[in-house]
Each structure stands twice: as C-alpha cells, then as structure tokens.
Structure 1
Amino acid sequence: MTDKEKEKAETKRKAEELLRSHFKGENEITDEKLIDIINEIKKDKPLNNLFEKFKKSYKFFVDFDDNGEKTEKNFFRYFKISSPSELNINPEEITSKYSPLEMFLISILWKQGDFGKEQRILDGIKKNEIIPTVFPQFGRFLKTLSDENHNDEPNYENIEPIIDQHSLRAFCFSKDIEYNEGRDPSYDVYDKYIKCYKSVIRNCKCEDKELCFLMLNEIMFILGKALKK
C-alpha cells in the first residue's frame, strides 16, 4: 500500500469513527458537538482540505467578521423566488432578455455540459414532492429557502436539506442502510434522510439554527466524500 493509499484509508477510518460516534443514534446536536466534529475534521489533513475548500464556497451563503460574528452579507437571507416561470432560460431570447452576468453564467452551464439540467432544478421548485435525484432536491431546497426568507423569522426545519451522493453515503453509513455507488437511491432513502435531517434541526440545542443548518450540510458532505472507495 502506497503512502497515499494509507492516508486515504486512515481518513476513511476517521470519517467512519466520527459518523459512528455522533450520528449513529438519536443524540441531540449541540453547539459543542458541532464544534467537536469540526475540530476533529481539522486534525486530519485530507478532511481539513475538504473543509477549507467547502468553507470558501460557503462564503457565498454566509460569512463572518474578524470577531467570528456573522455578517449581514448573507445569501440565505436574501434569496427569494417570485415566480418559477421567471427562472426559465429561453435560448431564443439570449441576446435581448439577459444581462451580461446572466449570459456569463448560462455560458458556464453550456461549457460544463449542464445546459438544460436547470429544468431538473425547476422540477424541484415547482413540485411539492420528493424526486430522489440531486438536482430536483436542490430545487426543493431553493424553493423552501425562498419561502422562509419571506418570513421575518425563518424556520430552518422547513428548509429542505441539500442532498448529494456524498451526504447520502454518510447518512446511509450512520444508519446502517445499504448504499449502492453509481445508482440513484430510492424514494425511501431520500425520505428517511429528509425526515432525519429535519428532526436534527428541530431538536438541536444550538443557539443559531441557521449556522447549525449550514454546518450539518458541510459535515455530511465532507465525511461522505471521505467514505468514497
């Protein structure tokens, strides 16, 4: 076994240990527990690399000042959808309807081979039902996020979790559910994940529910990615 393979195996072992110790049962999530998990992640170099990468991307959602206080430049607080129809991309109107920034973002979708996949996200936004694949679930997250942002006091239990292959892998491991790599999970697995996630948010003893919501998404992604064979 090479040094790189040994490091990967040790990181996988560490991720399994964290999931067993913190997510196997129905223990309450507290500020202290979340901090403990993050501190353990930081001790492992590959896990910490994922954490730092994830943290940079999450600045789009929430950022902190020098004192560790959340700033008001918070995407979560301002994301609102007036009507799903306004999100449709019409290729025939590219030159007349869209701003330079919108055209730039559309070009990235096209370059990545993802142009057209936004319709799958719209399916999740428009339909009030579980569609057990990543993009529609992300649409459900955006829709429920927008709905709560119309309230003065958002209820984070009502916001759908962000689910991908990594977070599902972590969840299935922690609950002893079979996870089949490369295959879309069943409706039942998605339903269990969502119910469990919302239960954690509802019962968590964190003072800042928004930060709890963000950190749980982050932790499940990082640990699930480390479990990948």
Structure 2
Amino acid sequence: HVPWVFDEEAVDVLRFFTKLKCRLMPYIFNAACEAHEKGIPVMRAMMLEFPEDPTCDYLDRQYMLGDSLLIAPVFSPEGIVDYYLPEGKWTNFITNNVLEGRRWVREKHGYLSLPIMVRPNSVIPVGANDKRPDYDYADGVTFHVFELQDGSRVSTRVPTVKGDTAMILEVSKDGNVIQVKAKGESKSWSVLLRNIYSVKYVEGGSAHGEEYGTRIIPEKEMLKIILSE
C-alpha cells in the first residue's frame, strides 16, 4: 500500500499510534530484550501472566504486551470491544480512566482510542521522542507509576538501543510514603504519579500537578515522596 491511497483520517490514526509506539519504545524494547534473554514473548497470552485466574485460560481476543500492558484490539466495525480485566485497579494508558478488575468490560472506541490497560503496581518508562523508534531512551524519560499497593517494590529497566542497561528505577510504597531510587546514566528523567494529585512533600525533588497526575522532577538520584493522607 502507498500513503496516497488513504484519506486524512487514516493518516491521523496512523500518526497517533505511531507516535504512541515511539514514546513506548523504552518499555517495548525492554520486553524485546527480555524475549531475547529469557525466551518470554513480547506478546503474551493472558494465562502466561495470570496462571491462577481460570478466566484467562481461554482468552484469545486480548493479550499482554510485556508484563504490564493489556491490549484488547477492537474487531467490530461499531467499535464495540469486550475484554476481561484480572484482579486489581487497571488504568487506561491513553485516557487515565481507572477500572476495577476481576470482571468483564464492554466499551465503545473510536479510531483514536483503544483499551491499553496498565496493570496495577506497574512502572512504565515513556520516552521523550515520538519521531522515531530508535533513540536515546534514557534521555528525558518519564516513569509513569500506576496504582502502587502498600508494601510493593517495583523496578523497571531502560535499555540502550544495543540492549544494554541505561538506567534502572526502583519504586516502593509504604503507607503514604513513596521512595524512588535511580541507577545508571540519564541526562534527565522524571516520575509521573498517575491519578495522584495530592503530594504533601518531596525530599530530593519537586512536585508539579498535571492533568493525569503529579510529576516529580528529581534533584537527586533518590526521592522520598510524602502523599497527603
């Protein structure tokens, strides 16, 4: 197919999801590195990530992209999609809407939306470049933090384009305290606490409210974030 066969709407849709993929490349390429090193596929059957949930045994119209993103493609011309969410609070990466899991969901989507649901207790590295898939993933990376549970410890890796480790971020939550520790080289980075809008104090950085949550700009490699009770 050639570009001039498609109309402007098709171009807009392709542009939107191509830019989204480029921004998600730190996460996607890290999953590809894991596939190379451990043999775990990038696109995973639901039962692979949720073996204790019997509903996931037979799901064939949705999948996990890496270990944290649930993708439910829309197959109907009306934009109706049914998908299953395992236990926990799941966040739509695009809309920031939060849904409780352990149930089926029916939604209607347009061409510029899709169920891209983020697993609770996830940290997704999002790159600063939406123009190309291969770039310095650690330069300007934003770590999106989703639905941390009390007592959780989560780490994520940002690879280089050669598959080496550029940066590792460790995040933990105890009560109303979130601690962040960065390891490796990064020209600049930040943390976006999705759906958290009340931060009392940040040790080692500063907090800035945004539409989808609170962005933490670090001044040191270690952060201590006190949430408002």
Structure-2-length-normalised TM-score: 0.25
Structure-1-length-normalised TM-score: 0.25
The answer to which structure has the higher helix fraction is 1
